[in-house]
Amino acid sequence: MTAGTGQTTETVDVRQIRELLDRMTEAWNAGDATAYAAQFTEDADYITFFGMHVKGRAAIEEGHRALFDGPLKGSRLTGGTGETALSIRFLRPDVALVISTGNSSLGEKPDPSRNSVITLTAVRQPDAWRFTSLQNTRRTDMGKPVA
């Protein structure tokens, strides 16, 4: 238990990681590449849904600035928030594996073809939790199994 709070450290950490997911989504929805990238460690690994590997906070910011000013201008994330985190599993007290769902919409309604499962690694740094890795995998309907 944390002294005087009545909450376990894990409960506080889970809440902080959910808030980190929320901040990441809010920054995307605001089209703010700097705030989006600030949710990641300086040396973060970021794997896009099509398999591109982006290395480091500066590259994440630069890439997202181009997206937010270009093809994803005005896009919105749904899911990818603290509420949609399917799993937060602590590998160590300062490292958590986070699995969440997400969707980005280019219009008014979410496009089911843009549904994703997102796997992130969160690390506790001296000032806050941040993501040190993200992998975005598009969900694909494989249809019915062949008999």
> How does pLDDT run along the chain (147 residues), one tens digit per residue?
344 445 555 589 999 999 999 999 999 999 999 999 999 999 999 999 889 999 999 999 999 999 999 999 998 887 765 565 789 999 999 999 999 988 788 877 777 777 889 999 999 999 999 999 999 988 877 666 655
β-strands 115-124, 53-55 pairing: unpaired
Domains and their CATH numbers in the chain? 9-138 (3.10.450.50)
3-state secondary structure of 100: strand
Give residue for tokens 């939790």.
129
pLDDT of the residue at 146: 58
pLDDT of the residue at 145: 61
pLDDT of the residue at 2: 40
Global confidence as pTM: 0.84
pLDDT of the residue at 80: 60
